[in-house]
Structure 1
């Protein structure tokens, strides 16, 4: 059972030979191998929550609140399967370097049937003090068993007090009684005199949630969906500067690279939009063109990636060389458009209402600057048109407008190989891992096949689309088929085990076919998007399409399948900056996502974070988390890469990172979804 979620600890199990042992068999002694089973976990340097939570130097409230939300999100994922963990406690919550929680230890977990809500057992096992009473005394197991344990965990995390059991007492009765009677608003205020009122309200709300979770009658306990909704609705920490900043100063590493980058997080905890402008008194030091203007949506984080020229030494500590952030609330009636010129005009017009904050700039040695965000510079990584991530190797395949194809190792941060495939734009490049190839669709209408280990050409399909541009390729996940889509309005199916013969042509679009994608669950079906405003669903065994959807006001630039547990949807990105979600079962549009100023050129579903990533020609990337209990999306982050138009996206398997291909470079970005 593979559990993939940011707040679930992944594990890999395998067997190995252990020691040899002399054993008796049918009256004879023989030498036998002892096979040992081994579980390999992700390394989490901060250890368990129990080691951090109950020490004298306690973690701050903001971090504890993040841990509570992270554990709840992980439990939401488990209950949606549905899996009951059965042993939630601080010892089984592990923390990574960024204090992000991971639920671990599934040794007692139970997997329910799709329609099953309860099971019974005569054997009760688990950790006393966290076991729900109906399970402890009657052997009844349900998702509410986890909610009880979660309640105790939330109260321990909120108060910093450990649930210590009295002798011969298996329940948490005394701990719950102490929290209910003693942790009043007055106690919270006296315990944390330096915290803002918003934080004190968060502590009180979390304690109340914990007390609701430990109700004796399980029917009175809240669902995990309701708990997360309550947490998300709590007022957030305010800031005198309208926007909160992380970090408080921005660092650029001193090193041999010509270009260095660093990210600045603008955090909007309000229910209003915030307009901002970032300026500097020394613009020549920055490669990023300043000033930068934009709008941070409500309850969202805007991540600005700043590029700087090579720094050989750090500026003096008294230097005035910093960034200046201006910000103000921007109501819709005051600011209709969020393009940079309109935002700048708005901030200039409101005078004293603009808040201003200084962001110091530091240059430190490369080894002392830790960042998961990375800008990959160089001629071969500019004007990127496509990216593809190898399924087993730490490689990213890129193609660009100058016909170059490169393989980049994101672990060693070095180029593996590169070659000029064509002098025309290479619009699409894909790995065919099982053959050791990559394929390239070119602006000259040809398909090129290369051995990526030897970097030698294997095959070239000349005039695959009669000199028309090949806009996109798609590799079938299970069969030896390749799809090519072109501005000749056609899609072709190629079989590489049959001498790269074209076995079928799909006709029906009235304009350029911009993207095709095989259905990951039904590999004989695929979707296509076109500038004719339509998306079509096809079967490779038939030349006619099964479904056509025409509900878009602009031409379509991207299409992507979106798995949602037992359901499946299709996401289509349009030139008008909107994305529509189509339900494959009902053939209807169920949601429209808006916010980008220009067309949505790339889409990506991050299965481990259960997050939708949209890339736009306006140069931004948006991260939206899927709220499974309400079938809606919540905007979490906006990333301003400042690398020109976004043309391609991909996710790095097993990591919380994405790769973004842009007009002016390629970026690897960390994305956090709580």
Structure 2
């Protein structure tokens, strides 16, 4: 596996908005949603580089924000432990509630079911049904450090993975008739420091998970054998974000070393 030496960009959004903690892209509109450390939400139109809306959400940092497009909503959360939902057309606040007892690090929106996951420094992941007034369906409690991220499996939509500073990736199922799940399906271990980010492959016959860690490495895991099949090195600081391309055999990594790397290889050759 190798990384590309140069990649161009089509547009660059320049705005003095402060530290950006999370972005999301609308699938139908030409919009980018940004959650800021200042506690603001901003929606940009990348076709004309204009700011559509600037929402003062909290006096605490926002760490995550996502579109829920079929409801025309934005859901966001951060260091005040409050989950907030806004209509992105009227910017009316739809819902606001607290459930976690520490910072909320990540929000994952299910592609087809009315589910969202939230992961938190309280070491839990919570599952909500947004079609039923954000009823909490389950709490997942097995990690022993901050839960940095969670991702639904695109090939098995009742399964999700979580990444934690306890150095592990855990795989869970959402079809449980209990309010608290303490036993994941299985756990992937191998990183020597905390795991910050994960993603699933969504193409090809074999399923893979990638994980990025404070140990400065990226690991590629065979989902079925539960084995690490390759370790990618090259970053010199903590890995902060990873994305598998949905159709092309590439993955993208970003790091606190201020570099973005494009790794290119056929998964079948790993």
Q: Distance in 1 between matches of 2:193 and 2:5?
A: 28
Q: Which of these residues, 542, 545, 563, is aligned with residue 184 of structure 2?
A: 545
Q: How far off is 1:455 after superposition?
A: 1.5
Aligned to 1:423: 59
Q: Distance in 1 between matches of 2:249 and 2:156?
A: 20
Q: Which of these residues, 301, 307, 310, is aligned with residue 5 of structure 2?
A: 301
Higher RCO structure (Cα 8 Å, ≥6 apart):
2
Aligned to 2:197: 558
Aligned to 1:614: 253
Q: How far off is 1:547 after superposition?
A: 0.9
Aligned to 2:106: 472
Q: Distance in 2 between matches of 1:437 and 1:629?
A: 39
Q: Distance in 2 between matches of 1:299 and 1:446?
A: 39
Aligned to 1:483: 117
Q: How far off is 1:299 after superposition?
A: 8.5
- Written as runs of structure 1 = structure 2, the 5 A alignment for 1:355-374 is 372-374=9-11
Q: Distance in 1 between matches of 2:15 and 2:166?
A: 36
DSSP-derived class of the 1:376 partner: coil
In the superposition, relative to structure 1, how do residues 434 and 525 fare at CA in structure 2: closer, same or farther (>3 Å)?
same
* Aligned residues of 2:13 and 2:46 also touching (Cα < 8 A): no
Provide Cα deviations, 1:493-546, integer angstroms capped at 9, x if missing partner.
111122212111000000000001111121111000000000000001232310
- What are structure 1's unaligned runs of at least 5 residues? 1-297, 304-370, 632-674
Q: How far off is 1:609 after superposition?
A: 3.6
Provide Cα deviations, 1:144-179, integer angstroms capped at 9, x if missing partner.
xxxxxxxxxxxxxxxxxxxxxxxxxxxxxxxxxxxx
* Aligned residues of 2:203 and 2:247 also touching (Cα < 8 A): no
Provide Cα deviations, 1:447-482, integer angstroms capped at 9, x if missing partner.
000001112211001x2213x100000011111111
Matched, 1:507 2:171: no
Provide Cα deviations, 1:100-132, integer angstroms capped at 9, x if missing partner.
xxxxxxxxxxxxxxxxxxxxxxxxxxxxxxxxx
Aligned to 2:226: 587
Q: Which of these residues, 426, 441, 448, is aligned with residue 84 of structure 2?
A: 448
Which protein is richer in helix relative to its size? 1
Matched, 1:605 2:240: no
Q: Distance in 1 between matches of 2:250 and 2:4?
A: 14
Matched, 1:375 2:21: no
TM-score (norm 1): 0.38
Which protein is richer in strand relative to its size? 2
Q: Which runs of 4+ in 1 moved over 6 A?
A: none
Q: How far off is 1:597 after superposition?
A: 0.6
- Written as runs of structure 1 = structure 2, the 5 A alignment for 1:212-227 is none
Q: How far off is 1:302 after superposition?
A: 5.0
Q: Distance in 1 between matches of 2:247 and 2:189?
A: 31
Aligned to 1:412: 48
Provide Cα deviations, 1:310-349, integer angstroms capped at 9, x if missing partner.
xxxxxxxxxxxxxxxxxxxxxxxxxxxxxxxxxxxxxxxx
Q: Distance in 1 between matches of 2:75 and 2:4?
A: 39
- Supply the RMSD in Å over aligned alpha carbons: 1.7
Aligned to 2:23: 387
Q: Distance in 2 between matches of 1:540 and 1:300?
A: 38
Q: Distance in 2 between matches of 1:437 and 1:407?
A: 12
The size of the alignment, in residue pairs, is: 264
Q: Distance in 2 between matches of 1:531 and 1:458?
A: 32
Q: Distance in 1 between matches of 2:9 and 2:166?
A: 39
